[in-house]
Chains A and B, each alone.
Chain A
Amino acid sequence: MQPITDIKKLNKIANSIRQNIIKSLEQAKSGHSAGPLGMADVFTALYFNVLNHDPKRPNLKERDRVILSAGHICPVWYATLAEAGYFPKRELWTLRKLGSSLQGHPHFHSIAGVENTAGPLGQGISIATGMAYAIRYFQKSNEMVYCIMGDGEQDEGQVWEAVMFAAKYMLPNLTVIIDRNNIQIDGPTEEVMPLDSLKDKYEGFNWHVLEVDGHNIEEVIDACNKAKAIVERPVCIIAHTIPGKGVKFMEGKYEWHGKPPKSDEAREALHQLRTMGGKVSVIDCE
């Protein structure tokens, strides 16, 4: 797929993804809102610029991989995959329903582009690390593996097992992107289980750390390109994001971590996204 470099275009895509997140969650009547909205820009940067991939050939051997470790934010993964053409958008309205290919938490190959199973936190980074190891040392090729993790997920011990392992084997093709949105289910991360300084922690484990504004698509793309050029160690990109980004009444509120919008809330959310929070009258996102 040809990378899109026009930032305006990329922002428009991210906006469309956000609208589809809202619509799919409204239909599903359960699921997580804040995380998916907060990560829409990072997913846009990956799938529409950074990744070497082809939505029409989802199992191409030479593809870069995205492993979603924070399984609960899968609505943004599904909406992005549909936006990129992996499957028709109508699938999005089946989210979490009986018989759907779009499970409440991702299931490996349930639909094109879903590269891993995730739900219990901390498992995705081990899978991504094993994949990066197999690509680097067994296959001896250069595909990148991008692992998306939550910040609350860093509480899990398994994460640090994998972080230690990836540093030992100096995996040059592994990039972890942490959604640093400062919330988890029970409240702010620094109250539930303090993480700061995340940067020092990863650096202490011999990773290279980059920090970006997770809503600045250009910055995210630059960081991913830098990460690709750093070959002597794995890279952790800490993406500072606002949970619920794009919908004013959700932004920064941990209460929106694990619930979907009701229909009136969804209507208001879609209106805000279409008008960019009142900045423009209407945006055509189709």
Chain B
Amino acid sequence: MKIVSKQKLNKKLFSKKMEMIPTRDGYGEGLVELGEKNEKVVVLCCDLTESTRSQAFVEAFPERFVEVGIQEQNMAGLATGMAMSGYIPFIASYSVFSPGRNWDQVRISICYTNANVKIAGAHAGISVGPDGATHQALEDIALTRVLPNMTVIVPCDVHETRKATISAAETKGPMYVRFGRADSAVITAEKSPFEIGVANILAAGSDVTIIACGPLVYQALEAARELAKSHKIKAEVINNHTIKPIDTKTLVSSAKKTKAVVTVEEHQIHGGLGSAVAEVLSSYSPVPMRFVGMPDLFGESGEPEELLEKYGMTKEKIIASVSDVIKNK
């Protein structure tokens, strides 16, 4: 596997010293940094201050934190009112509740108004684990990316979550940032580049393109390593952290080169990253595709690794999908 630029990846990646940190930690770090930089930033949370990592902001800037209680619908509206008064509200809950339960408020109050509200969705994906299907958000990318005015970001690790949080405050308009609960590989470095709407090519290849988002970018990189070693297949790996607006240029030029694409996400196959990529490629560069993600099912209780294994969001599944799609080139 040929790494495109050393800057884009963490030096400790694939080593014994590889760090494992939940992406949500980056949200807490980003908020505190923002709090210091921008007095217009305010934070709201629905009774999940610790687990969404809003706590760090509460301690640093108590006067700019609002405890909303278990009221996700109200929180979306409150934030709209605050945004209309010139503030930049970050609202946090679990993704199943926000933007899940309050989708109508996100649609009308936030997006139709084009209010400058940032929605932080924690505990997304099946890797939430033992809490079971009720708490595993697997539809949130679909729910948010259909909304006009909305930007949708799925950071791959803790550093990228911190950068996405900071960029959110600097970019006007509604934004959804999704992060996970479980420890996940620190893929990028503190100084790796991050720009909303610009996909990062992490590994260069010419036989197939693997387009991933979120913590599964690590599995995509692992798959590319093994494909290079055991299958002599050169896979290009793209970290497509911005689902909307999608980086058409990068995706199309890679697909034109490799002529086969596999997408990887911790989300329903229907309507998520894979669908977004397919919309772009079918218009500008139709190539055979395979989709790694949740196959139209609800999850269940279990450990994150067990669930990813059972529902087919693993390195092995990516390798099998690559072999299959290459046959159909």
State whether these chains interact. yes
Q: Which of A117, A137, A138 is the one whose CB lies under 8 Å from B108?
A: A117
Cα–Cα distance between A118 and B86 once the two chains are bound (Å): 19
Which residues of A sit under 8 angstroms from B78, Cβ to Cβ?
Answer: 126-127, 129-130, 133, 162, 165
Task: Write out, one digit per residue, whether chain A residues 120-133 have a CB within 8 A of any chain B CB (1) or not (0).
Answer: 10111111111111
**Nearest chain B residue, comparing its CB with the CB of A127:** B81
Q: Which of B64, B71, B84, B108 is the one whose CB lies under 8 Å from A119?
A: B108
Cα–Cα distance between A137 and B62 once the two chains are bound (Å): 12
Whether the pair B105, A126 counts as a contact (CB closer than 8 A) is: yes
Cα–Cα distance between A107 and B112 once the two chains are bound (Å): 8
Q: Is A276 an interface residue (CB 8 A)?
A: no
Whether the pair A126, B74 counts as a contact (CB closer than 8 A) is: yes
Interface size class of B (residues with CB under 8 A): 20 to 34
Whether the pair A127, B109 counts as a contact (CB closer than 8 A) is: yes
Q: In the complex, how many angstroms separate the beta carbon of B79 from the nearest chain A beta carbon?
A: 6
Q: Is A52 an interface residue (CB 8 A)?
A: no
Whether the pair B105, A123 counts as a contact (CB closer than 8 A) is: yes
Cα–Cα distance between A165 and B77 once the two chains are bound (Å): 12
Q: In the complex, how many angstroms separate the beta carbon of B118 from the nearest chain A beta carbon?
A: 14
Whether the pair B112, A126 counts as a contact (CB closer than 8 A) is: no
Q: In the complex, how many angstroms separate the beta carbon of B44 from the nearest chain A beta carbon?
A: 9
Task: Write out, one digit per residue, whether chain B residues 97-113 have a CB within 8 A of any chain A CB (1) or not (0).
Answer: 00000001100110011
Which residues of B sit under 8 angstroms from A123, Cβ to Cβ?
Answer: 77, 104-105, 108-109
Q: Is B143 an interface residue (CB 8 A)?
A: no
Given that A107-B112, A117-B109, A123-B108 are known contacts, is A165 also in contact with B85, CB under 8 Å in the complex?
A: no
Whether the pair B85, A162 counts as a contact (CB closer than 8 A) is: no
Whether the pair A131, B69 counts as a contact (CB closer than 8 A) is: no
Q: In the complex, how many angstroms separate the beta carbon of A178 from the nearest chain B beta carbon?
A: 17
Whether the pair B69, A126 counts as a contact (CB closer than 8 A) is: no
Which residues of A sit under 8 angstroms from B68, Cβ to Cβ?
Answer: 165
Whether the pair A135, B105 counts as a contact (CB closer than 8 A) is: no
Q: Which of A117, A138, A157 is the one whose CB lies under 8 Å from B113?
A: A117
Q: Is B198 an interface residue (CB 8 A)?
A: no
Q: In the complex, how many angstroms separate the beta carbon of A236 from the nearest chain B beta carbon?
A: 17
Which residues of A sit under 8 angstroms from B80, Cβ to Cβ?
Answer: 126-127, 130
Q: Is A116 an interface residue (CB 8 A)?
A: yes
Q: Which of B69, B82, B104, B105 is the one whose CB lies under 8 Å from A138?
A: B82
Whether the pair B71, A130 counts as a contact (CB closer than 8 A) is: no
Whether the pair B109, A134 counts as a contact (CB closer than 8 A) is: no
Q: Is B164 an interface residue (CB 8 A)?
A: no
Given that A127-B80, A129-B81, A165-B68 are known contacts, is A108 also in contact with B74, CB under 8 Å in the complex?
A: no
Q: Which of A108, A138, A158, A162 is the one whose CB lies under 8 Å from B84?
A: A108
Q: Is A111 an interface residue (CB 8 A)?
A: no
Cα–Cα distance between A108 and B64 once the two chains are bound (Å): 25
**Nearest chain B residue, comparing its CB with the CB of A131:** B81
Q: Is B311 an interface residue (CB 8 A)?
A: no
Q: Is B87 an interface residue (CB 8 A)?
A: yes
Cα–Cα distance between A135 and B86 once the two chains are bound (Å): 10
Given that A119-B108, A123-B108, A158-B105 are known contacts, is A129 also in contact with B77, CB under 8 Å in the complex?
A: yes
Q: Is B42 an interface residue (CB 8 A)?
A: yes
**Nearest chain A residue, comparing its CB with the CB of B72:** A161
Q: Is A139 an interface residue (CB 8 A)?
A: yes
10 closest cross-chain pairs (CB), A and B: A126-B77, A130-B81, A130-B78, A161-B74, A131-B81, A134-B85, A161-B71, A127-B81, A108-B113, A134-B82
14 contacts between A and B (CB under 8 A): A67-B81, A108-B115, A117-B113, A123-B104, A126-B78, A126-B109, A127-B84, A129-B77, A129-B81, A130-B82, A132-B81, A138-B85, A157-B73, A162-B71
Chain A contact residues, CB within 8 Å of chain B? 67, 107-108, 115-120, 122-135, 137-139, 157-158, 161-162, 164-165, 168
Chain B contact residues, CB within 8 Å of chain A? 42, 63-64, 66, 68-69, 71, 73-82, 84-87, 89, 104-105, 108-109, 112-115
